[in-house]
Structure 1
Amino acid sequence: MSSTIIAGRFVNPEREWTGQIRLEGGTIVEVGEQLGSPDVEFGEDCYVFAGMGDIHIHARDDQSETQTYKEDFRTAAAAAVNGGVVQVADMPNNPVAPIDDASYRAKQQHLAARNVPIQVTLYAGIGPGTRPLSFAVPYKAYMGPSVGDLFFSTLADLDETLAHYRGQCVSFHCEDPELLEQHKSAATHEQRRPAECELSATRFALQMIEKYELRGKLCHYSVGEGLPLIRAARAKGLDVTCEVTPHHLYYDVSDLTDENRGWMQMNPPLRDIADRKAMLAALHDGTLDYLATDHAPHTLEENAAGISGQPHLDTYGEFVTWLMAEQGFTARQVAAFCAENPGRFVNPYTAPLKFGRIEPGYVASLTVLNLARPTTIRRENLKTKCGWSPFEGVTFPGSIEAVYIRGERHK
């Protein structure tokens, strides 16, 4: 069995150090100072992280193949590697939603046939009348309408269904469906999905997490006023974590124009400047646990027609360099919300593979960022099948130096 020694500056959440690691059989087998003559050495401008994970993507691929014109597991995997991401978790709002043992296994088999290099963990959907699967999976509950048909019309209906999911790992799309109905005739997308919808749904989700002893996660958080609710819930001992997206950290309503409204539309929508700054601060202080893209590949024509969502897998790592170089995030903080925390989320479902740390016994998947080589995002360099990015023309301060997947270099 061949081994590879890599030298460089390594990062875990608790420390940053210069040294070497040895990879063997797709696993990190040794971490030290002088393990031998290095096969690869990364310079002082580079940071070597455990492979980064995006635990909220929409690959648009299932056994129906009715949406694969805009993405599939192969192109999503290519976009992930292009952005320095080695493991993803795919959402269940497919035309054939994975909501029971049979439909989940069918999607797993479809994924396996795609033969992608990265790890893909599949969420199961929670919808009206569904029940838990007979084996451990992460679940997603859509409180209100999103893309697809897997959602609830009232919070009472969701409560009734969640009673059957006690103790499960459930992620919540926090938008109150009854308030969305009240605002559906407003003039703009932001007014149709106002902050109060997210706040009401946050309160309800936290109640459900407590009531049914869930391991809860709040998806793509965007409203600053909701952050104290999350902190208070944790102080009570609730098991709740939170995502934040690149678009809610980088853009706000001041960036909207008549020309870009179509491709700047997402659920939840862009918020005020104060909300965006609150998300950055909450990522700094640990209230937000994951940088998760909500990668939502649609064609530009679909976005112009009012379908919500942006593609972000291709630009994940470059966006992280902006957080480090321009927003004051340390490499250790990045190692937490881009690697260790996403790894901790998926590891119960990926055994024997363990993601998220540079440590013996963990998978030998690595993301190497170069903070001295800027990258301008260009359409021709994207791998996503939908073929566009909201960051086109943006120059980020760093780049992806290398990506290793189970010991093999892919970039």
Structure 2
Amino acid sequence: MTILIKQATIVNEGSQYVADILIKDGLIDQIAPSISAQADTEINAEGLHLLPGCIDDQVHFREPGLTYKGNIYSESRAAVAGGITSFMEMPNTVPNTLTQELLTDKYNIAAQTSLANYSFFMGASNDNLDEVLRTDAANVCGIKVFMGSSTGNMLVDNPQTLEKLFAQSPMLIATHCEDEATIKSNLNHFKQLLGENIPVRLHPKIRSAEACYLSSSMAVALAKQHNTRLHILHISTEKETHLFDNTIPLKDKKITAEACVHHLWFSDADYETKGNLIKWNPAVKTAADRDGILAALLDGRIDIIATDHAPHTIEEKAKPYLEAPSGGPLVQHALPAVLEMHHQGKLSLEQVVEKMAHNPAICFNVEKRGFIREGYWADLVLVNLNSPWTVSKQNILYKCGWSPFEGQVFRSAVTHTFVSGNLVWANGKLNDELMGKRLTFEL
């Protein structure tokens, strides 16, 4: 199957230019000002921008065990509709992914059902270090450590276990950093004041900036002590951004960081209208935190934009604050939201591509993805920057059927998504006959 994309405005590696691209056998075969080759499919992309497909390094697709919220098929479908061509999924499924056998089970499910390219983190607990150390770094994206409460047996709060993980892990450790003792103390304080009727607006006071900084700074200290490859997920405070360096090229960094779309878009003022729909861990915090995260993203202290996509049913989200789960769906709307930030003058298109495609590929050493280069896999997204649309229940593809962006008008639309050379999304229509590929990693 060959595909010829004609006269797209390519955004790649810090520049924009108009060119044709020929896709052959899943790979980018040729990039040139004009290509006259015959192809099975030809797409006129004049006036459209062609970006490398987004690589989302943090999603929760809920399979196995929580598939009433979402599954690998439903959420990968939403991802490709939103221009995300590869994802890395977290281990807090049911059962938790704490053995190599359970990890293999997830890869087998994805091989049959994922429309996007995929990888899965191996989970760490207080008592599975031997299993963690068996992980194959060439075929698995990393080790996930919850240094804050999580589903099941995944809170790693034993100091000796953390020391051993950071000292012995041969591969990237990705951390969720919130200090559990601080959170419990804050929660008890508000329970004494308000009983069980705590409003969601106090979520960032309970899961506080202090809780985040205490944990993040400890992770950074451990990584520096043991020369560990550390990636801290979903930075939510301005203070944390100063833990990271922007004087080192990304390829040489040992300690990297990620920002999520919701922490770049919402602030604590939005709890009044959005309520539990924007209840995430770590919490959405102040406008000053939001602005500080963006500043760190722009100056290179924060390296990646991701989603932390974590769907729950609307019935679960409608429960009182203490009962409602944290997390929300984002993969279908992450790229349109970040492109909206581009329209607002906050990021250039080149920066959008850098933070959502290039840098995840560099950070995780993903083989032959994340860039528009001859010989690389054809993970590509065509976007129309002038095609306004409104997020509504009618066009949401998440299994949970809702989005915190409902009612939002985005000025940019994803028109086509190519995954490993297959056209899986075209003008609102999905081709779900061809699956994505397992990501591999350079050692």
Give the TM-score, by structure 1 length. Answer: 0.92
Please, which of 254, 257, 277 is the counterpart of residue 242 of structure 1?
A: 257
Please, which of 178, 183, 192 is the counterpart of residue 180 of structure 1?
A: 183
2:328 paired with 1:310: yes
Q: CA deviation at 1:5?
A: 4.2
Amino acid at match of 2:162: D
Task: Find the counterpart in structure 2 of residue 57 from structure 1.
Answer: 59
Q: CA deviation at 1:86?
A: 0.6
Separation of aligned partners in 1, 2:239 and 2:99: 36
Task: Find the counterpart in structure 2 of residue 93 from structure 1.
Answer: 92
Task: Find the counterpart in structure 2 of residue 153 from structure 1.
Answer: 157
Separation of aligned partners in 2, 1:329 and 1:345: 20
Cα pair distance change 1:324/1:37, threshold 3 Å: farther
Amino acid at match of 2:386: A
Output one character per residue of 1:328-373: Cα deviation in whole Å (capped at 9) or x when no partner.
311111111111112234554xx5xx21000011111211121111
Q: CA deviation at 1:375?
A: 1.8
Separation of aligned partners in 2, 1:23 and 1:359: 11
Amino acid at match of 2:400: C
Task: Find the counterpart in structure 1 of residue 381 from structure 2.
Answer: 367
How many residues were matched structurally? 399
Please, which of 397, 401, 404 is the counterpart of residue 415 of structure 2?
A: 401
Task: Find the counterpart in structure 2 of residue 330 from structure 1.
Answer: 348
Q: CA deviation at 1:217?
A: 0.7
Using the TM superposition, name which of 225-234 and 198-207 deviates more. 225-234
Separation of aligned partners in 1, 2:306 and 2:255: 16
Using the TM superposition, name which of 91-100 and 355-364 deviates more. 91-100
Task: Find the counterpart in structure 1 of residue 119 from structure 2.
Answer: 121
Query: Matched residue of 1:202: which SS?
Result: helix
Query: Matched residue of 1:372: which SS?
Result: coil
Q: CA deviation at 1:291?
A: 1.2
Amino acid at match of 1:121: S
Q: CA deviation at 1:239?
A: 0.9
Cα pair distance change 1:93/1:14, threshold 3 Å: same
Query: Matched residue of 2:278: which SS?
Result: coil
2:174 paired with 1:171: yes
Using the TM superposition, name which of 292-301 and 324-333 deviates more. 324-333
Separation of aligned partners in 1, 2:37 and 2:253: 48
Task: Find the counterpart in structure 2 of residue 213 from structure 1.
Answer: 227
Using the TM superposition, name which of 33-42 and 238-247 deviates more. 33-42
Output one character per residue of 1:101-134: Cα deviation in whole Å (capped at 9) or x when no partner.
22211222232232x2211110011110222224
| Cα contact 2:124–2:156 (8 A) shared by 1 | no
Separation of aligned partners in 1, 2:71 and 2:271: 29
Q: CA deviation at 1:270?
A: 1.1
| Cα contact 1:146–1:267 (8 A) shared by 2 | no
Query: Matched residue of 1:231: which SS?
Result: coil
Output one character per residue of 1:192-222: Cα deviation in whole Å (capped at 9) or x when no partner.
1110011111111111211222211110111
Task: Find the counterpart in structure 2 of residue 264 from structure 1.
Answer: 278
Separation of aligned partners in 1, 2:243 and 2:369: 30
| Cα contact 2:163–2:222 (8 A) shared by 1 | no
Query: Matched residue of 1:94: which SS?
Result: coil
Q: CA deviation at 1:37?
A: 6.3
Output one character per residue of 1:40-85: Cα deviation in whole Å (capped at 9) or x when no partner.
22133x21011111111000002xxx31011000001111012111
Separation of aligned partners in 2, 1:321 and 1:359: 22
Cα pair distance change 1:254/1:163, threshold 3 Å: closer
Cα pair distance change 1:304/1:234, threshold 3 Å: farther
| Cα contact 1:53–1:339 (8 A) shared by 2 | yes
Separation of aligned partners in 2, 1:133 and 1:110: 21
Please, which of 296, 315, 326 is the counterpart of residue 310 of structure 2?
A: 296
Amino acid at match of 1:184: L
Give the TM-score, by structure 2 length. Answer: 0.85
Task: Find the counterpart in structure 2 of residue 133 from structure 1.
Answer: 134
Structure 1 alignment gaps of length 5 or more: none
Amino acid at match of 1:119: N
| Cα contact 2:236–2:282 (8 A) shared by 1 | yes
| Cα contact 1:321–1:369 (8 A) shared by 2 | no
Identity of aligned residues (%): 27
C-alpha RMSD over aligned residues: 2.0
Using the TM superposition, name which of 15-24 and 237-246 deviates more. 237-246
Separation of aligned partners in 1, 2:186 and 2:248: 31
| Cα contact 2:31–2:374 (8 A) shared by 1 | yes
Separation of aligned partners in 2, 1:177 and 1:153: 8
Task: Find the counterpart in structure 2 of residue 251 from structure 1.
Answer: 266
Query: Matched residue of 2:244: which SS?
Result: helix
Q: CA deviation at 1:6?
A: 3.4
| Cα contact 1:234–1:240 (8 A) shared by 2 | no
Q: CA deviation at 1:146?
A: 2.6
Cα pair distance change 1:391/1:323, threshold 3 Å: same
Using the TM superposition, name which of 16-25 and 94-103 deviates more. 94-103
